């Protein structure tokens, strides 16, 4: 057997000297216990928001897009802003579960399950917006290429909007498969220790009859690795394609080649902020501080300061190009509609700058990165900032374009437009509350896999080994077969 070794400099991924049984107990406890009062309160608030969203959507479907304040020339407003925002949030889950798996980042094990759940729920929310923006939502299936009696009239495969249909649906499907295949062994763990018949039956169904056979684990590992390898370019492609919705147009402020990397960085930025918001609550409510440690929070804050700064550079590059291109429409969009504080939407641009570029710089300080309150506060700020970013891109480019005669009046949303957005929060948190109650929020099997190479017990053991003379070390630690 090979020698497992992890540097003394690394922080333990799991705190406390735990054994496998304790890991199971700690993570399964919330599933086996009755929900707390706090859970019920949170769940009912989420369901109430969801119902308000359903009513808002009902208004929109009944009376048409006019229920929203969309007009000429602001044909995309809150809806597409929210769509891009939610898709972006989803990206952190895939980054954590797939890209960090390929990069062998051990800290992903503490947060990947919840982050992947977040991805799936966020993509579900995102999908609502373009679907209901169609207006005649009962014809939404027209986006699918199927032989039909209208010619057949096919969809336009050259359009970024159709690429989006494929990208988002593939992303949702692959994320769901990745997430669920990881859940199967953990559901089996819950099933085998269930003490009520109903739980045994339901988790029995959910676990697909998993036994933990060595061959199955071998295939499972291979499957996870390939799905991670597929998800990595997939997640980059999804936000790239979302950015193409804008970048392939000829609207000033949209027509730029910088969009794909800038959108992907922004997506990861906002997604990590959402993971922080959720994980800080989860670790507190379920007493999982040993599994989602300050080390995890710090690692995610490092990603936030990196991606926030990439986004900042993108903003500055756009401003530079607005001037350097000497295109008066670009210049007007960037230097008047956006960067001029007293222009109609200048507030949103500077709100975005303050939230996304300036405030995350606080995370250059280690003390701040490890401060749970600062992190929680900043995670909200970042998501507000990223919402502003999408709003700035969409609305400030649309409300004044080439012809002053078609400049629109000041666009602000109606209550039903806001209600739709609030409703997706309801959907997201309803799903997340159910997930937190009925699913293992931390990947049990993956924690067990890293348990023996991390944790305080391991560090103590390694310190003793490191203190040994070399000869004794070689003699003790090499296994001969």
Partner 1 sequence: MAKKKFVVGCFEDEAVLFPAVKKVRAAGYKIHDVYTPFAVHGLDHALGLRETSIHTAGFIYGITGTTTALSTISWIFTKDWPLNIGGKPHFALPAWIPIIFELTVLFAAVGMVLTFCYLCQLAPGVKKHHFHPRATDDLFVMAIECTDTTNTDDLQAFLQSNGAIELSVQVAEEGWWFGRYDNENVPFQNKEIVAA
Subset of 450-469 contacting partner 1 (CB under 8 A): 452
Which residue number, 231 or 293, has a Cβ lying nearer to partner 1? 231
Least distance between partner 1 and beta carbon 19 (Å): 7
204 binds partner 1 (CB under 8 A): yes
Least distance between partner 1 and beta carbon 382 (Å): 28
Least distance between partner 1 and beta carbon 52 (Å): 34
Decide if 187 contacts 207 (C-beta within 8 A): yes
Given the structure tokens 């007007």, which residue do they identify? 332
167 binds partner 1 (CB under 8 A): yes
What mask, x for binding partner 1 by CB under 8 A, covers residues 397 to 436? Answer: ----------------------------------------
Q: Restricting to residues 209-228, which ones interact with partner 1 according to CB under 8 A?
A: 209-223, 225-227
DSSP 325: T
In angstroms, what CA-CA distances link 213 with 203, 220, 458? 18, 10, 27
Segment interacting with partner 1 (CB under 8 A) among 39-47, 96-104, 196-204, 433-441: 196-204
102 binds partner 1 (CB under 8 A): no
DSSP for 407-465? PPPPP---HHHHHHHHHHHHHHHHHHHHHHHHS-SS-HHHHHHHHTTSHHHHHHHHHHH
Give the whole-angstrom CA distance, residue 132 versus residue 144: 16
173 binds partner 1 (CB under 8 A): yes
Q: Collapsing DSSP states into helix, strand and coil, what is residue 315?
A: helix
Decide if 3 contacts 474 (C-beta within 8 A): no
Closest CA to 375 of 436, 305, 318: 305
- The two three-digit tokens of residue 184, written as one number: 């199967």
Which of 189, 337, 356, 371 lies at the binding interface for partner 1 (CB under 8 A)?
A: 189
Least distance between partner 1 and beta carbon 316 (Å): 29
Which residue number, 61 or 162, has a Cβ lying nearer to partner 1? 162
Decide if 422 contacts 49 (C-beta within 8 A): yes
Give the whole-angstrom CA distance, residue 266 versus residue 272: 10
Q: How far is CA 377 from the centre of its chain?
A: 18
Give the whole-angstrom CA distance, residue 340 versus residue 169: 38
Which residue number, 79 or 164, has a Cβ lying nearer to partner 1? 164
Total residues at interface with partner 1 (CB under 8 A): 74
Give the whole-angstrom CA distance, residue 426 versus residue 121: 11
174 binds partner 1 (CB under 8 A): yes
Least distance between partner 1 and beta carbon 457 (Å): 13
- The two three-digit tokens of residue 364, written as one number: 């250059």
Which of 30, 42, 130, 185 lies at the binding interface for partner 1 (CB under 8 A)?
A: 185
Burial class (CB in 10 A: 0-12, 13-18, 19+), 184: middle
Least distance between partner 1 and beta carbon 443 (Å): 10
Query: Cα angle vertex 477, ends 471, 478, to 5°?
Result: 95
Q: Restricting to residues 327-346, which ones interact with partner 1 according to CB under 8 A?
A: none
481 binds partner 1 (CB under 8 A): yes
Segment interacting with partner 1 (CB under 8 A) among 15-23, 67-75, 99-107, 342-350: 15-23
Q: Restricting to residues 231-290, which ones interact with partner 1 according to CB under 8 A?
A: 231, 233-234, 237, 241, 244
Which of 19, 249, 365, 477 lies at the binding interface for partner 1 (CB under 8 A)?
A: 19
Give the whole-angstrom CA distance, residue 313 versus residue 266: 11
Which residue number, 191 or 400, has a Cβ lying nearer to partner 1? 191
Which residue number, 6 or 192, has a Cβ lying nearer to partner 1? 192
Segment interacting with partner 1 (CB under 8 A) among 96-104, 198-206, 425-433, 461-469: 198-206
Least distance between partner 1 and beta carbon 121 (Å): 19
Give the whole-angstrom CA distance, residue 46 versus residue 430: 5
Torsion of CA 79, 85, 90, 94, to 10 degrees: 130
109 binds partner 1 (CB under 8 A): no
Decide if 190 contacts 28 (C-beta within 8 A): yes
Least distance between partner 1 and beta carbon 321 (Å): 24
Q: Restricting to residues 20-49, which ones interact with partner 1 according to CB under 8 A?
A: 20-21, 24
Q: Restricting to residues 144-163, which ones interact with partner 1 according to CB under 8 A?
A: 145, 151-154, 156-158, 160, 162-163
């Amino acid at each position: 057997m090979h020698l497992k070794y992890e540097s003394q400099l690394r922080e333990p991924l799991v705190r406390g000297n735990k054994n496998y049984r304790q890991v199971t107990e700690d993570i399964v406890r919330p599933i086996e216990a009755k929900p707390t009062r706090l859970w019920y309160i949170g769940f009912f608030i989420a369901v109430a928001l969801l119902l308000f969203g359903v009513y808002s959507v009902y208004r929109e479907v009944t009376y048409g897009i006019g229920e929203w304040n969309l007009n000429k020339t602001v044909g995309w407003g809150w809806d597409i802003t929210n769509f891009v925002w939610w898709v972006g949030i989803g990206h952190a889950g895939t980054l954590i579960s797939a890209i960090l798996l390929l990069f062998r980042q051990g800290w992903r094990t503490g947060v990947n399950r919840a982050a992947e759940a977040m991805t799936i729920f966020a993509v579900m929310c995102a999908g609502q917006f373009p679907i209901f923006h169609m207006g005649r939502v009962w014809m939404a299936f027209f986006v699918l290429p199927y032989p039909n009696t209208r010619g057949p009239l096919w969809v336009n495969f050259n359009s970024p909007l159709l690429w989006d249909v494929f990208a988002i649906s593939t992303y949702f499907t692959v994320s769901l498969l990745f997430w669920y295949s990881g859940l199967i062994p953990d559901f089996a763990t819950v099933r085998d220790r269930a003490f009520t018949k109903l739980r045994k039956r339901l988790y029995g169904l959910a676990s697909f009859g998993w036994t933990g056979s060595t061959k199955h684990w071998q295939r499972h590992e291979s499957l996870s690795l390939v799905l991670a390898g597929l998800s990595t370019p997939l997640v980059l492609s999804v936000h790239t394609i979302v950015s193409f919705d804008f970048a392939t147009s000829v609207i000033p402020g949209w027509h730029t080649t910088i969009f794909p990397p800038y959108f992907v960085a922004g997506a990861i930025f906002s997604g990590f902020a959402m993971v922080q918001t959720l994980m800080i609550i989860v670790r507190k409510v379920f007493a999982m501080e040993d599994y989602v440690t300050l080390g995890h929070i710090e690692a995610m804050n490092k990603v936030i300061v990196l991606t926030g700064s990439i986004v900042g550079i993108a903003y500055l590059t756009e401003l530079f190009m607005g001037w350097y291109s000497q295109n008066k429409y670009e210049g007007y969009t960037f230097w008047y509609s956006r960067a001029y504080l007293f222009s109609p939407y200048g507030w949103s641009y500077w709100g975005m700058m303050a939230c996304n570029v300036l405030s995350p710089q606080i995370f250059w300080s280690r003390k701040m990165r490890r401060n749970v309150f600062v992190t929680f506060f900043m995670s909200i700020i970042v998501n507000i900032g990223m919402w502003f970013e999408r709003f700035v891109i969409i609305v400030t480019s649309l409300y004044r374009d080439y012809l002053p005669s078609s400049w629109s009046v000041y666009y602000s949303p109606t209550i039903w437009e806001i209600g739709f957005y609030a409703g997706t929060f309801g959907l997201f948190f309803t799903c997340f509350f159910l997930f937190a109650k009925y699913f293992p929020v931390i990947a049990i099997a993956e924690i067990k896999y890293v348990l023996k190479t991390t944790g305080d017990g391991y560090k103590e053991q390694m310190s003793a080994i490191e203190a040994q003379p070399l000869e004794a070390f070689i003699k003790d630690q090499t296994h001969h077969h």
